[in-house]
Amino acid sequence: MNIRLGAVAIAVAAAFPLHLPSAFAQEKVADTVVVTATRQAQRENEVLASVEVIEREQIERAGQSTIIELLATQPGVQVSSNGGAGSSSSVFIRGTSSRHALLLIDGMRVGSATSGQPMLEAIPLGTIDRIEILRGPASALYGSDAVGGVIQVFTRRGREGFHPELFVGYGSHDTVRASASLAGGKDRLRYSIGVGHDETDGFNAKRDPARWVSAWTGASSFNADDDGFRSQYLTASAALGFRAADEVGVNTYYSDGRNWYDTNDFYDSRLDKKLSSASIYMRNELGDGWTSTLRLGQSQDETTDQADFAPASRFETTQQQFVWQNDVRLGDGMLLAAYEYTREEVEGTADYDKDERDVNAVLLGWSGRFGAHSLQLNARHDDNSQFGDKTTGLVGYGYQLSPEWSVRGSIGSAFKAPSFNDLYWPGSGNPNLEPEVALNRELSFGWDNGLHKVDVTYFDNKVKRLIDWAPTDTGWWAPSNVGLARLEGVELAYAVGFGGYDLKAGVDYLEAEDGDGNRLPRRAKVSGFARLDKSAGAWNWGLEWNGANHRYEDEANTDRLAGYGLLNAYAHYEVAPDWRLEMRANNLLDKDYQIARGYNTDGTNVFVGVRWAPR
């Protein structure tokens, strides 16, 4: 179904008036620097792609929330989760599958090559300095997986001076969070280290006991106990500059978590999740306007599933990565030329026919501004040892119609390589699978007078050769390239600052349909968010709302999940110059809702913490 842009524009104008009472002192909405959109540092207001940035300040307001809950409040992102903190979750960027979101931690690819999707729920908020969300296909920059977009997590970094920090908090479900960090620097030396522990008793992940009784055996997978989560983590980084503009540095990230879940009524099932990433880089200025960056690293994604008294199942993915990127100033823009090598290795309890693959990639790009025009060109060629070559590209163009009005558009292709489960799962894998492919077109209009900011973005993403698993004549389930999805939508966003208040709001309209015209499971047609923040003296407080209309649990669209709206609030109080009291309440109206059929979500919950951070 096509979305009528004229009606949407009228709705924006009605919902977001562009003039505020003159009694309020208006404040400019600041632009930040992002790197994910082009792999090069660029001001957010100059980016041709759709990018959202979650800063550390907003992360600290999240309190007891998880990264999944935080992502659910962002434009163009919907989520589903099989319970509370640490439970298996999916993130849908613009309606695409969770397998179509690429996860980067400090520039390193992190994810499972067996399941084919990232384990975002295993990333503690305490490790994160900022998050950049790139919406739209980005394979021309990052290769496989970036069909729906890219989520890049940046861990804590050092800065000039000496900055210790301690935090401890307690909340509903006996939730405890504690962390300690040290960041500092002098001249061109920067360093940071942080450790933390999160733990919660959680709540019962499943509801409706009768739903979880097998019609074949009569056995129940429902257990009335609480399903908790615990996690320990470590982050560290160091960077040293030498000569005029050169630098060497190291980054490392590690988290080890366990969440409990229900698979029967006699055993406390648990799933251990480990994520790690480590890299070393060297940045050199080879000439005037020419910067070379070498990065070598490794990431791991490991799960161990102890469902009952039987031996545990384990899956581990190791990705060894090497990148040589060159950024060269040419005329009014920057040239990008890079070589990237990735080796994926899997091991565990499943006996795959093949357990490793290599990807060699070269990429070229140019982005720049000349007068009122902006242009971005990218092309990438991937050589995958499993299925051969794949070339993707992106063209983006922007035009500044006036000092306040701008328009931008792009067209880009993307692909998703089959996972090891798809190709080699014992007894049913299909080694002849081809990559899933996508072609996205989008058009955006922006209005920014320095006080108010409005963006309207239309996108149309067609994904073909989707890998679907279905029963065969032999009784086994097997995958094949038969799926098709049409993802079309409009994203509306508005931001303003006035009288010490900051307001940001948005509405997303999404048509996510398969080849038969049915809506894709767990994708709402309409979703939205609003955040109002206020600073006054020692106080900083805010209200947040996010919600979505109904979705369907099944592909046939017969099992309907009701819509929901959640109201959250937070307040921070500066007790002393170095001490801050942080309070948060989620789901203030105690909304009973489901984002995955048969799984509970949390009711009203509160969290209180104390942070010591000398200035």
Give tens-digit pLDDT for 517-540.
999 999 999 999 999 999 999 999
State the pLDDT confidence band at 250, using cuts at 50, 70 and 90. very high
The whole-number pLDDT of residue 215 equals 66
User: All domains of the chain, ordered by start, with CATH?
Assistant: 5-605 (2.40.170.20)
pLDDT for 8 beyond 60: no
pLDDT for 47 beyond 70: yes
Q: Which residue has the higher pLDDT, 65 or 240?
A: 240
Asked if residues 120 and 89 have their Cβ atoms less than 8 Å apart, the reply is yes
pLDDT for 25 beyond 80: no
Average of per-residue pLDDT across 550-561: 96
Neighbours of 604 (CB within 10 A): 14
**pLDDT tens readout for residues 462-504:** 999 999 998 887 778 899 999 999 999 999 999 999 888 999 9
Give the CA angle between residues 532, 48, 112 to the nearest 5°. 80
- Tell whether pTM > 0.75: yes
State the pLDDT confidence band at 219, using cuts at 50, 70 and 90. confident
State the pLDDT confidence band at 213, using cuts at 50, 70 and 90. confident
Residue 461's Cβ-side half-sphere holds a number of Cα atoms within 13 Å equal to 31
CA–CA distance, 492 with 528 (Å, rounded to integer): 9
State the pLDDT confidence band at 20, using cuts at 50, 70 and 90. very low
Looking only at the bridges linking them, the beta strands covering 33-34 and 149-155 are: unpaired
Asked if residues 563 and 524 have their Cβ atoms less than 8 Å apart, the reply is yes
In the chain, the N- to C-terminal Cα span, in Å, equals: 54
Average of per-residue pLDDT across 172-184: 97
pLDDT for 30 beyond 50: no
Residue 361 tokens read as: 């990639």
Neighbours of 511 (CB within 10 A): 18
CA–CA distance, 33 with 45 (Å, rounded to integer): 9
**Single-letter amino acid code for the residue at 607:** F
Give how far the C-alpha of residue 267 lies from the chain's centroid of Cα atoms, to the nearest Å: 33
Residue 78 tokens read as: 């919907």
CA–CA distance, 417 with 440 (Å, rounded to integer): 18
Looking only at the bridges linking them, the beta strands covering 33-34 and 551-552 are: unpaired
Looking only at the bridges linking them, the beta strands covering 149-155 and 101-105 are: parallel
**pLDDT tens readout for residues 371-405:** 999 999 999 999 999 989 999 999 999 999 999 99
Asked if residues 325 and 293 have their Cβ atoms less than 8 Å apart, the reply is yes
State the pLDDT confidence band at 331, using cuts at 50, 70 and 90. confident
Average pLDDT, the chain: 92
Asked if residues 247 and 222 have their Cβ atoms less than 8 Å apart, the reply is no
CA–CA distance, 403 with 406 (Å, rounded to integer): 8
Residue 333's Cβ-side half-sphere holds a number of Cα atoms within 13 Å equal to 17
Q: Which residue has the higher pLDDT, 23 or 545?
A: 545
Asked if residues 168 and 177 have their Cβ atoms less than 8 Å apart, the reply is yes
Give the CA angle between residues 48, 52, 57 to the nearest 5°. 140
